[in-house]
């Protein structure tokens, strides 16, 4: 008889809010079995948080700022914030503003390895709890002909994607291999997100002892 193990995740006794409009992050959390609502973070000029001098620490600060911006009005909820960026040749790539920007990003990534970083933060204001993490994944692109880049841009999939591509979509044909967490490239590293929720649960249990 084959036994199939199905993990049952349950919320840690308080409402959970995802401080993001990303449908990819919503899908990952839903697949993990977590019940949550969504709310847009209220952070102005996100680019001003990011620095190549210390990309991981600056991503932590941005993820925390996103979570705290929602937690300010929802102090009893657990709020999860996240942000993803791409770094190639020491150039930081966020979301392209238009087709021209997307083309430039994809041409830069073509035939090279790049790093995808996601910062995640979990906070509950009334419990004085906030923890964060940054995860990096290396992605290798094959050489992409200009006509393929043009076809991809015409598909419109590049919009609202760090680095101008979606690994889970049509851009899968660009990728030779990855090193690290696939879901991190999609927008939310699963193991580290679970670790943040576990950190809150442990903190809560210790507080109740």
- Active-site residue list: 83
HEC letters along 129-174: EEEEEEEEEEEEECCCCHHHHHHHHHHCCCCCCHHHCCCCCHHHHH
Long-range pairs for 37-42: beta carbons < 8 A, 24 or more residues apart: 39/70, 39/74, 41/65, 41/66, 41/67, 41/69, 41/70, 41/81, 42/69, 42/70
Give the whole-angstrom CA distance, residue 33 versus residue 40: 21
Pick from 161, 164, 170, 112: which is nearest to 138 by CA?
112
Give the whole-angstrom CA distance, residue 186 versus residue 165: 10
Count CB neighbours of 44 within 10 A.
Answer: 7
Q: Is residue 94 within 8 Å of residue 158, measured between CB atoms?
A: no
From start to end of the chain, where are the E strands?
Answer: 16-19, 37-38, 78-88, 91-93, 113-124, 129-141, 175-179
């Amino acid at each position: 008889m084959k036994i199939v193990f199905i993990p049952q995740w349950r919320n840690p006794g308080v409402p959970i809010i995802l401080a993001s409009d990303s449908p990819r992050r919503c899908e990952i959390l839903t697949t993990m079995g977590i019940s949550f609502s969504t709310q847009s973070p209220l952070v102005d000029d996100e680019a001003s948080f990011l620095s190549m001098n210390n990309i991981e620490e600056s991503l932590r600060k941005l993820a925390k700022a996103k979570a705290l911006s929602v937690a300010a009005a929802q102090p009893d909820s657990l709020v999860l914030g996240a942000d993803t960026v791409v770094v190639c040749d020491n150039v930081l790539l966020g979301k392209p503003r238009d087709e021209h920007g997307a083309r430039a990003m994809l041409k830069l990534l073509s035939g090279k390895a790049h790093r995808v970083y996601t910062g995640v933060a979990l906070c509950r204001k009334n419990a004085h709890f906030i923890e964060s993490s940054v995860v990096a994944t290396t992605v290798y692109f094959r050489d992409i002909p200009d006509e393929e880049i043009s076809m991809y841009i015409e598909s419109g999939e590049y919009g609202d994607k760090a680095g101008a591509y979606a690994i889970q979509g049509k851009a899968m044909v660009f990728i030779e291999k990855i090193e690290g967490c696939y879901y991190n490239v999609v927008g939310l590293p699963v193991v580290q997100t679970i670790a943040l929720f576990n950190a809150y649960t442990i903190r809560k249990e210790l507080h109740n002892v």
